[in-house]
Amino acid sequence: MYVEKKKLAKEQSVIQRSSLLSSVVDNATKITGMNFSDVSWFRNSSEPAKYNAHSYATGGNEIHTSSGRDNDLFHEVGHLKAQKENRVSSTGTISGRAVNDNPALEAEADNIGNKIKQSI
């Protein structure tokens, strides 16, 4: 899922640096040929629940996963490819922010995410 990027309050900006993120970023780069080194992972984020989601990706470089949803990292990195290619427009608005849950983009994110997962 995509949710329009917003500037977060400082206390919300808990960026997780982890070996899992490093592996996912490295493999995403190998699989897509694109650079994902700028990706930030907001783990245990309270943001997705505001948009009726478990997780989402935004701005081509930011992933939010709610508590217990670490495995969504793979799928959400898959979404960043389309975002980096500027292929994501809004399909609606939730809580004042543009969102996109287009089925074709969801399938693409699943496909890339599964490839990354298998390569780790």
Q: How far is the CB of 106 from Zn ion (least distance, A)?
A: 5
Which of 13-21, 33-41, 58-66, 104-112 is the region at the interface with Zn ion (rule: CB under 5 A)?
A: 104-112
110 near Zn ion, rule: CB under 5 A? no
Q: Which is nearer to Zn ion, 21 or 53 (CB)?
A: 53
3-state helix, strand, coil in the chain (%, to 5): 40, 20, 40
99 near Zn ion, rule: CB under 5 A? no
Which position among 73, 109, 112, 116 is part of the footprint of Zn ion (CB under 5 A)? Answer: 109
Neighbouring-strand partners of residue 55: 65
User: Token pair of 17, please?
Assistant: 């640096």
Which of 1-9, 13-21, 24-32, 44-52 is the region at the interface with Zn ion (rule: CB under 5 A)?
A: 1-9
Which position among 26, 70, 106, 108 is part of the footprint of Zn ion (CB under 5 A)? Answer: 106
Residues 6+ apart with CB under 8 A from 118: none
b or e along 25-42 (b: 16 or more beta carbons within 10 Å of the residue's beta carbon)?
Answer: bebbbebbeeebeebebb
* Residues of the shown chain interacting with Zn ion in the complex, contacts defined by CB under 5 A: 1, 106, 109
